[in-house]
A and B are shown apart, each in its own frame.
Chain A
């Protein structure tokens, strides 16, 4: 079979136009699991579950393809193919003998379930006016609050990603950047900041990166 025939290429192309997840699109694998699958490091059963998922989920399929492209050449682990049934006779015999023992000890193998896509980070929004600059002597970043008991980390960098400041374990949804930390930030320059929230139930979620101009 020619697996790079014209119609297969066309099917690949058309498939990439499909960007919606099937069903409610909520159940997705962790990015680490997709990476492991794409680089051939997952156990066989779980790998097949991931492939079945990417058959229907466009965003996971994209993530999987990116990981596949990023993996160093030859990194995809070899899996032993199935061989002649004669080779399996000793193993099958041993398995039959062990089956009785296994019945006593058997419990379902642990299969990692897809995690639910974390949508909670979208609630973290900047409460600074988009067109408003902050004075460096009163550079207080503010964002929407989570449920009671949420704590926040905020990290601030310049536009070229040089770290400027960070606040950890904040109990309030605001952070004042010390003016001395802004010494390397020129007047009118944009700083980037991102909030990570730890919810009372232990979940952790991150905001998008916000931009704020500092005078």
Chain B
């Protein structure tokens, strides 16, 4: 082991947080991760919580002083650790060409691999068609397809509701036409 280990055992964190405080922080982190972790990543929830907790403890070691974390801070930590795991999975799949770990795999409980594969194909076609939309329409349609409403998209883009409605409407029409051209009919 390196002689430069300046704190081999958890001295600094133990001084900053009592056992009860660590236990409470752990409970809140696990809770935050359970809220953000998609069902298809549930098997990794423990690891994600572990990573989030370690990041928080590291942050605590650095900043000292304030020993409390707001709930929004914990959510961001849980979100960050979850996204790290998602990106890690995507990298693994890209390198190993795995085909079974779809983002929506367990969220939608797809039982049929063939159907899931077809779904990914349509998804790819949608992404390709989105890219062909003019930028304002692409912005509006992307936000609508990512789960938002038109009023929400308008707020996010700083556009009037009427303009956003028009762009989303025309954009979706373009998208359908493009998909039809590729042989898909939503």
Known: A16-B123, A155-B54. Is A163-B145 also a contact (CB below 8 A)? no
Chain B residue total in the interface (Cβ 8 A): 91
Whether the pair B104, A13 counts as a contact (CB closer than 8 A) is yes
Residue A81 is within 8 A (CB to CB) of chain B in the complex: yes
Chain A nearest CB, measured from B163 CB (Å): 7
**Which A residues are within 8 Å of any B CB, using their own CB?**
1, 3-4, 7-8, 10-22, 25, 28, 31-32, 34-35, 40, 44, 47-48, 51-52, 54-56, 58-59, 61-70, 72, 76-83, 117, 119, 121-122, 140, 151, 153, 155, 157, 159-172, 174-178, 180-181, 192, 194, 196, 206, 208-209
How many Cβ-Cβ contacts under 8 Å join chain A to chain B? 260
User: What DSSP secondary structure best describes chain A's contact surface?
Assistant: mixed
Complex CA distance for A178 and B123, rounded to whole angstroms: 51
Complex CA distance for A23 and B62, rounded to whole angstroms: 38
Complex CA distance for A130 and B19, rounded to whole angstroms: 31
- Contact flags (1/0) for B8-29 with A, using CB distance below 8 Å? 1110011000000011001001
Known: A163-B22, A171-B2. Is A178-B142 also a contact (CB below 8 A)? no
Whether the pair A40, B145 counts as a contact (CB closer than 8 A) is no
Complex CA distance for A117 and B3, rounded to whole angstroms: 33
Which residues from chain A contact B2 at a C-beta distance below 8 Å? 167, 169-172, 174
Complex CA distance for A172 and B5, rounded to whole angstroms: 10
